[in-house]
Structure 1
Amino acid sequence: MPEEDSLVEIPRSDWAELRDLYVQRDTDPQGYPCINNFIQWVEKDPELKVKFLSLNGDWQSDGTFVLTVDLGTAYKHLYFNTLSDNLDRATKALECFKSIENEYVFFGFCSRLKPVVEHITKKYYTTKKIKIVETFWYTVSKDLIDTFTTEVPSGITLLNLALEDAETINEIWPHRGPNSIKFVRSLIKFNVNLGAYDDNGKLVAWCLRLPIGSLGLLQVLESHKRLGLGSLLVKSMAKKISALGDQVTAPVVNKNTASKSMFEKIGFHKIDSSYWVE
């Protein structure tokens, strides 16, 4: 009788080696940028509840891993990936979670991994009705980013966001949920970000960086739309992320034609779809 599959925690000392297996997956939402993000977060705060897990202790053979993150929000975030074209081991790893439905939410995965999530949610989500939301997954070349000009309009100042800005951001965020302010605070605390402030010091627009390495939570207040602040923040954040040596990516909800038009006008192009479970 075969032994039952189990998840084995990957020691922190091995996280960098796991990350480096994904060095060629630098535009994969759950590839190199995502793994590197949480390595850096834990370096800044070793008490963060971040776990990398492998199926039966083997992650070296094909890079299969599962990552769980507990930021104190309603659900823990769940990330996973594999370098194999065969998704069986990734599927088996997720099947090891006994209470996946009530504890975890899948966060920003690529189209290649969608069949795994569909299988898991169909098999294990018995009481909660879920919806898989598609977004277009965009990127832009470093050469183009280097040509970006970022002229700030009169009366506006670009600054790094402050932790107290999280309340304003979370209140307007269309995807907010119970305790999601803790997620927003984590993004402000640990990742590069930018806010646009008026002459009175009021935050009127912002852009953050998600744990998967992409731009996210881009928002401009109604009072300051049509001033080019969205494009300005995207270009400025692209420069910041590119300066770190990372690829610049962004998810855009399919129905958001205004955002799609803006990103494409700037020079972003679609390379995949990314998905979010709601």
Structure 2
Amino acid sequence: MAQLQPISIHDLPELQALYRREWPKYFKEYYVLSTVIKFIKTEPGLKHLNAYTLADSHAHELGLFLLVDRYQLFVGCLGDTFDLLEHALHLLDWSRGFQCTTFAARYLATILKVVEAKQLTITLEYDANLYTLPAQEAMQLRVDCPEGFQLRPLVEADAQLIDKMWTYSDTGTLYFFQRQIRLCPSMGLYDMQSNKLVAWCVRTMDGLLGGLQVDNAYKRRGFGTIVVAALSREIGALGDDVGAEIHPENIISISIFNKLGFRVSDQCYWRFTAPENGKFTWPNGQ
């Protein structure tokens, strides 16, 4: 059977282009590859970011890839059957645990089959709807910054607060926010009098808006909508569509994204697996 082989940075653009078909079906696959290409070009020495496929001509035709970003696992495979994807997943080292964050509904059965076969423990299950907005519509969003506040990109120092406030904060997530702020578009709303960050949103590896949060003292003032609209405009200006994952019971976020014109285009899933030998601790800066 075919073995895993690394995907060269030179082959990534061609691979990414395969996922432009049937848009926005492969939104997440397309944009995670886009992010990887940008990261490697911007910071060639970036650690623990690896892309793999199978040494198999059919796998190449299907655009099959596994992307391991530290503890996160992203997958992609065209077509309607995923036998080759299942084989590739079996070849990965799952011993440190993975956060499969996130994958489209079409991959769920295959990933769960591998998890069951390897007798892995699932530590978190999270289901969400994928909301998307075309770039042209995102660029037309109205952004009214309230008096006394300023909208501007986040800086790495903001990651401390963002990670502290994030529901899923864990070992390694601070570095995740620092890196995303450094290398991707982001948006913060700051109180001009105190320079306090009061609302924020970042862009994740797979091109989604993530980490959306409003300081408790500033809620119910529409600040979440403002930062989402502002960041969406920035992303749209790059020629990229905008996406976000929202749990079906998160009524506040659903209201924000519906108001801005986002529409549900897919269902997505998070599945975290436990490390085999206790919790793995990532070194600082990695």
Please indicate, yes or no, whether the TM-score normalized by the shorter chain is above 0.5. yes
Is this contact kept in 2: 1:167–1:181, CA < 8 A? Answer: yes
2:18 pairs, out of 21, 30, 34, with 21
Aligned counterpart, 1:196: 189
Aligned counterpart, 1:37: 35
2:221 pairs, out of 224, 227, 238, with 227
**Percent identity between the two aligned chains:** 27
Aligned counterpart, 1:95: 90
Is this contact kept in 2: 1:23–1:32, CA < 8 A? Answer: yes
Task: Give 2:165's aligned amino acid.
Answer: I
Q: Which moved more, 1:212-221 or 1:268-277?
A: 268-277
1:65 and 1:129, CA in 2 relative to 1: closer, same or farther beyond 3 A? closer
Aligned counterpart, 1:73: none
1:109 and 1:29, CA in 2 relative to 1: closer, same or farther beyond 3 A? farther
Unpaired runs of at least 5, structure 2 = 273-286
The TM-score, its normalising length taken from structure 1, stands at 0.91
The TM-score, its normalising length taken from structure 2, stands at 0.89
CA separation in 1, counterparts of 2:232 and 2:101? 22
- Structure 1 residue 57 displacement after superposition: 4.6
Task: Give 2:51's aligned amino acid.
Answer: F
| Helix, strand or coil at the partner of 2:210 | strand
Aligned counterpart, 2:279: none
Is this contact kept in 1: 2:134–2:240, CA < 8 A? Answer: no
Is this contact kept in 2: 1:7–1:53, CA < 8 A? Answer: yes
CA separation in 1, counterparts of 2:200 and 2:270? 22
- Structure 1 residue 145 displacement after superposition: 2.4
Q: Which moved more, 1:137-146 or 1:42-51?
A: 137-146
1:141 pairs, out of 115, 120, 134, with 134
Unpaired runs of at least 5, structure 1 = 71-75
CA separation in 1, counterparts of 2:122 and 2:244? 27
Aligned counterpart, 2:277: none
Give the 5 Å matches for 1:231-250: 231-250=225-244
Q: Which has the higher contact order (CA 8 A, sep 6+)?
A: 2
Is this contact kept in 1: 2:5–2:52, CA < 8 A? Answer: yes
The root-mean-square deviation of aligned C-alpha atoms, in Å, is 1.6
Give the 5 Å matches for 1:8-157: 8-24=5-21, 27=24, 28-48=26-46, 49-58=48-57, 59-70=59-70, 76-97=71-92, 99-126=93-120, 128-157=121-150
For these two proteins, the number of residue pairs brought into alignment is: 268
- Structure 1 residue 183 displacement after superposition: 0.7
- Structure 1 residue 101 displacement after superposition: 4.6
Structure 1 residue 268 and structure 2 residue 267: aligned? no
CA separation in 2, counterparts of 1:26 and 1:207? 25
1:171-209 superposed Cα distances (whole Å, 9 cap, x missing partner)? 000011112101111110110001111021111110100
CA separation in 2, counterparts of 1:26 and 1:186? 28
1:22-64 superposed Cα distances (whole Å, 9 cap, x missing partner)? 1226543531111011110111111113221111254431111
| Helix, strand or coil at the partner of 1:188 | helix
Task: Give 2:154's aligned amino acid.
Answer: L
| Helix, strand or coil at the partner of 1:178 | coil
Q: Which moved more, 1:213-222 or 1:49-58?
A: 49-58
1:1-34 superposed Cα distances (whole Å, 9 cap, x missing partner)? xxx4310111221111111111226543531111
